[in-house]
Amino acid sequence: MEYRRTKIIATLGPQCSDQKSAQALVEMGVNCFRINLSHGTAAEKKSYFDLVRSISLSEQERPAILADLAGPKIRISGLNGTMDLKTGEKVIVSNEQNGPNVIPVSSSVAFQEVNPGAKIMIDDGQIALEVISQVSNHTLECRTEIPGEVKNRKGVNFPGIALNVPCLTEQDLIDLELALSSGADWIALSFTREAKDYHLVRSRMKNLSFNIPVMAKIEKWEAVENLDEIIETFDAVMVARGDLGVELPVERVPLIQKSVIDKASQAGKPVVIATQILDSMTERPVPTRAEVSDIANAILDGADGLMVTGETAMGVYPQEVIRVLSRVIEETEAAIDYEKYYTARGQNLLSTAQAISHAACSVACDLDVNTLVTMTHSGSTARMTARYRPAARIIAMTPFPEICRQLAIVWGVTSFIVHKYENADDIPAAAGNVLEEKGIISKSQKFVITGGVPVGVPGTTNYLSVFRLE
């Protein structure tokens, strides 16, 4: 059975909008599909959820769905054609005007916090403006610093400025309801700024009678300042390097990425690295050496998953992108000393669950056991075991299909759906049957198993055993 620890998340789009192409990506290694809710009509967005559900795989093999809310992203909106800006040229940025020499933006946010000298970055920093004066709370006069062609729907950033915008827009609320009712397994919150953003999303979910995990996208300078509380509160984090590299000096991004990976991994929270993973392959069939090195370093640092965006959504070679990503992951993982990982992360064990999960990894290493089974109702046991990055493959067994899919983005975890188990004494035999049926282990081979008693109570990881398949 193939075992690749680092997970692959691919963004759906026009280049993979039919069942055949989407299924081909899954067969090449995609664990989760991202649906970008920033673009398209409600019907178009819904069609992508339907597409993933139509993939002809078993319930436990179906890829997870990450629904990515647009958030309070300011975009160019209503621009007729394009605008070619020259260095030094003056231009108006406004959310209440349109016309010649005006860049119209979508947000109704007031610009009273934007003072002369402030920078405005367009299209991930490809174009830069300097504010000359504030004409009104909704209109700014600017001078072009970095020239370029301005296009509709491109993002607009105000680095270092705390604009008074909500974490969820009216469109986000509509998209959230659509995503939840259409089968999303994860919700990604764009432009997360602080921990309380999580509670706002969670409250909205509760009102709609849903309870799925929420991923914070680290792409604002405020999020970097509040990183510890965000990691503690959210269910997972994503380093969204595009906007992050605009909001902060680009040279800080690699160190921020390493810090996020380290802190999230220590907390047992999945961490995904995104943006420009294989950007050159949007138009070329081969990656650059720098891209391959970037991917390998993210894997070595301990990222749970790598997410491609335009490479699969709009690129010419979506299947080749996944093929390259899989090969780099496999080659890099083969060189990792996993014993060092779990030894280093065994410090500061704060709970019984952490101690048991760490001990399970240690026992598997000491006995040279290659399979570590976690019986889980909530996914917490599997996530905590993955925290220690063991060499043994992690097999999560759960009665709930949604937990199986949620674990699809967690490092090293392969999930299977099993019948509900009421008696802890029945678990080892049931686990052994699944392992043998799936060809993971053979007769006389050992496996480590961990879980919680009483059975079915989330967060009660408290037992550890070693069994031999008879």
Catalytic residues: 34, 75, 217, 275
Confirm if 11 and 43 have CB atoms less than 8 A apart: no
119-122 sheet: strands from edge to edge: 74-75, 155-157, 119-122, 127-136, 139-146, 90-94, 102-104
**Amino acid (1-letter code) at residue 19:** Q
What SS3 class is residue 20? Answer: helix
Look-up of token digits 């491109």: 154
Alpha carbons 373 and 149: distance in angstroms, whole number? 54
Confirm if 142 and 120 have CB atoms less than 8 A apart: yes
**Amino acid (1-letter code) at residue 304:** D
Cβ atoms within 10 Å, residue 359: 16
Closest CA to 162 of 121, 242, 223: 223
Look-up of token digits 């992050």: 244
**Amino acid (1-letter code) at residue 75:** R
Helix (H) or strand (E) holding 240: strand 236-240
What SS3 class is residue 269? Answer: coil
Closest CA to 395 of 406, 379, 382, 405: 382
Alpha carbons 386 and 381: distance in angstroms, whole number? 9
Alpha carbons 20 and 18: distance in angstroms, whole number? 6
Task: Enumerate the β-bridge partners of residue 240.
Answer: 274
Please, what is the end-to-end C-alpha distance for the chain in angstroms? 20
DSSP state of 76: B
Question: Which residues make Cβ contacts (< 8 Å) with residue 191, sequence separation at least 6?
Answer: 71, 72, 73, 167, 217, 219, 220, 223, 243
**Exposure pattern of 189-212 as b/e (b: 16+ CB <10 Å)?**
bbbbbbbebbeebbebbeeeebeb
Helix (H) or strand (E) holding 170: helix 170-182
Could you tell me what percentage of the chain is helix, strand and coil, using 3-state DSSP and rounding each to the nearest 5?
Answer: 35, 25, 40
Instruction: Output the six-digit token pair for 287.
Output: 């990656």
Closest CA to 274 of 249, 237, 323: 237
